[in-house]
A and B are shown apart, each in its own frame.
Chain A
Amino acid sequence: MSKVFELKNVSKTYRNDGQEFEALKNISLDINEGEIFGIIGMSGAGKSTLVRTLNRIEEVTSGTVEFLGSDLAALRPAELRKVRHSISMIFQSFNLLSQRTVIENVEQPLKIAGVPRAQRRQKALEMLKVVGLEEKAKVYPARLSGGQKQRVAIARALAADPKVLLCDEATSALDPKITGEILDLLKEINAERKLTIIIITHEMSVVEKICDRVAIIDKGELAELGDVREVFSNPVSNAAKKLVFPANPFAPTNENQKLVRIVFDGTKSSEPFIANLVEKTGKKVNILSANTRSVGGIGYGQMVVELPSSKEDQDIIVDFFKKNGLTVTEVEINE
């Protein structure tokens, strides 16, 4: 698989009135052709800055960003503008021209690229068909719903036949149902056009739904990188755990008791392991919270249980879970 983007030791420092702020710290990662790559992090983690280094709307302070093997920082302004035809972007706030009709909006990238009028109109109509809004061609964006506006933005982003689509919190302003529809559309486009898609989000559900690989950004650093299934079923870094597991609001009822988190994947989730535990060992646990989610079609679950205060009992229980193929980790109270 060939690489579309190759980031090496990318750092970005903002200087403002003598104060320095490190938005990105030494980030290295590759993005492969045709994949849907998620970049997730809390707000302020630096993910928006990171995605803007990919089309050089943000300059990096050190390190290199290569697009299809060429260093973006080495491009002259005119060359950079040409490269940007291959790297489209959609935004949380859609950023459509309010004084232009839908079709005129979609035509913009083609107009910039110097495509003749008749040709660009035809292409724009074709793109509107892809997003299912051809009947809205002559309407102004103000008359559209949020989901429709984002569809127009996607049509506009696709018009110049880009190789990559950058999505900056593209679904964050939309409700869950519309978010789902937009994500389905992106997935469809990814499959049909072999378009590489990079998705910036703070929502786990977005990554779970369509991403192949995910990078977790925390305080400007790359906290974790890998297959979505792997990262979500077995998060290693604290930042990843925070995103994957909901906050645990409970503390043990007395100090000798212990909280553990059990994580199980699709193959194990059908077994009644708590009932098995009681039956086989006679030890009891108190379930504090539990949930399951589907990642790429496989069910993943996690459960926080409180173990009894005897150290001996705790060991027996943890042992039992581990023997049954479950991942057991101790829950820190301030997690």
Chain B
Amino acid sequence: MSDFIIQAIEKGIIETLQMTFWSSLFAYLIGLPLGVLLYATAKGRLLQNRAVNAVVGFIVNIMRSLPFLILLVLLIPFTRIIVGSSIGTKATIVPLTVGAIPIIARMVESSLCEVQPGIIEAAKSMGASPIYTIIHFLIPEAVPSLLQGAAINIATVLGYSAMAGTIGGGGLGALAMQYGYYRYQKDVLWTTVLLLVIMVMLIQEGGAFLAKKKRKI
């Protein structure tokens, strides 16, 4: 491989990491509260509210059922408004974030469902408010499971970021498309694939390690 390609790969790695990091961060900022809302407004829960639960659940389901590639295209006008452009690394963060939010919301909801209902009853009996219960009882109890979910979510975002490469995003995905696919440079194709595999494994193992370290059971 030429120096030029190696430089391109280095740049690709950094771009992929940037996209994954920022998209995951933004997606968690919205997806985590959304997941808590889905959990808490369900029947028999702390903030039972049928209307809110139905509306949020419906939106999340719709968003989740859209194939990511379609979402990428659909969001181009929206991305232009926010970033000012629809191509490049920065622009890819928008659809990645939007695509990850519903996945994260459902993952968070399922992690919270694992918390023993008795913990919530205990909080109630101590005179804790619903918000206090969520922040100081529910979420801390769910942390190991939330971390495990985060590893899966971030790895998914990383995979999506490669997909975004096909329609003008940056990163390793774009590299694989441009050099590996369009110009038949198999070595570039396989190198990028290998790098993506390594990155996903690192995220997954890192998440599992943290979750295990945190779990006090």
A91 to B122, CA, bound (A): 8
Which residues of B are found within 8 Å of A111, using beta-carbon distances? 136
- Interface segment among B2-10, B49-57, B123-131: the answer is B123-131
A95 to B89, CA, bound (A): 47
The total of Cβ contacts below 8 Å across the A-B interface reads: 64
- Establish whether residues A109 and B127, one from each chain, have CB atoms under 8 Å apart when the complex forms: yes
- Establish whether residues A98 and B217, one from each chain, have CB atoms under 8 Å apart when the complex forms: yes
B116 CB within 8 Å of chain A: yes
Which residues of A are found within 8 Å of B217, using beta-carbon distances? 98, 142
Given known A98-B216, A98-B217, A112-B132, contact A87–B141 (CB-CB < 8 A): no
Interface class of chain B by DSSP? helix
Other-chain contact of B126, A77, A93, A108 (Cβ < 8 Å): A108
Closest to B137 in A: A97
- Establish whether residues A142 and B125, one from each chain, have CB atoms under 8 Å apart when the complex forms: no
Interface centre among B126, B128, B140 (most CB of A within 10 A): B126
Interface centre among A55, A83, A112 (most CB of B within 10 A): A112
B171 CB within 8 Å of chain A: no
Number of interface residues of B (CB under 8 A): 23
- Establish whether residues B140 and A99, one from each chain, have CB atoms under 8 Å apart when the complex forms: yes
- Establish whether residues B116 and A84, one from each chain, have CB atoms under 8 Å apart when the complex forms: no
Closest to A89 in B: B125
- Establish whether residues B128 and A81, one from each chain, have CB atoms under 8 Å apart when the complex forms: yes
A57 to B215, CA, bound (A): 30
- Establish whether residues A95 and B127, one from each chain, have CB atoms under 8 Å apart when the complex forms: no
Interface class of chain A by DSSP? mixed
Per the 8 Å Cβ criterion, residues 82-120 of A in contact with B are 82-85, 87-89, 91, 93, 95, 97-100, 108-109, 111-113
Which residues of B are found within 8 Å of A98, using beta-carbon distances? 141, 216-217
Per the 8 Å Cβ criterion, residues 134-176 of B in contact with A are 136-137, 140-141, 143-144
B49 to chain A, nearest CB (A): 15
Closest to B216 in A: A140
Which residues of B are found within 8 Å of A113, using beta-carbon distances? 127
Closest to A108 in B: B126
Other-chain contact of B214, A88, A89, A97, A99 (Cβ < 8 Å): A99
Which residues of B are found within 8 Å of A166, using beta-carbon distances? 125
- Establish whether residues B143 and A84, one from each chain, have CB atoms under 8 Å apart when the complex forms: no
Closest to A153 in B: B122
- Establish whether residues A99 and B144, one from each chain, have CB atoms under 8 Å apart when the complex forms: yes
Per the 8 Å Cβ criterion, residues 6-61 of B in contact with A are none
A93 to B115, CA, bound (A): 13
Closest to A101 in B: B216
Which residues of A are found within 8 Å of B121, using beta-carbon distances? 57, 91, 95
A207 CB within 8 Å of chain B: no
A95 to chain B, nearest CB (A): 4
B161 to chain A, nearest CB (A): 32
A160 CB within 8 Å of chain B: yes
Other-chain contact of B127, A91, A112, A140 (Cβ < 8 Å): A112
A108 to B128, CA, bound (A): 9
Closest to B128 in A: A112
- Establish whether residues B118 and A84, one from each chain, have CB atoms under 8 Å apart when the complex forms: no
- Establish whether residues B216 and A84, one from each chain, have CB atoms under 8 Å apart when the complex forms: no
A99 to B115, CA, bound (A): 11
Other-chain contact of A95, B116, B132, B144, B215 (Cβ < 8 Å): B116
Given known A97-B137, A98-B217, A142-B216, contact A55–B125 (CB-CB < 8 A): yes
- Establish whether residues B127 and A82, one from each chain, have CB atoms under 8 Å apart when the complex forms: yes
- Establish whether residues A95 and B214, one from each chain, have CB atoms under 8 Å apart when the complex forms: no
Given known A95-B116, A98-B217, A99-B216, contact A89–B122 (CB-CB < 8 A): yes
Per the 8 Å Cβ criterion, residues 225-240 of A in contact with B are none
A55 to B123, CA, bound (A): 12
Per the 8 Å Cβ criterion, residues 56-83 of A in contact with B are 57, 77, 80-83
Show 12 A/B contacts (Cβ-Cβ < 8 Å), sorted by A. A57-B124, A91-B122, A95-B119, A95-B122, A97-B137, A97-B140, A99-B143, A99-B215, A112-B127, A112-B132, A142-B216, A166-B125
Q: Which 8 A-B pairs have the closest CB atoms?
A: A84-B127, A95-B122, A89-B125, A95-B118, A81-B127, A140-B216, A109-B126, A142-B217
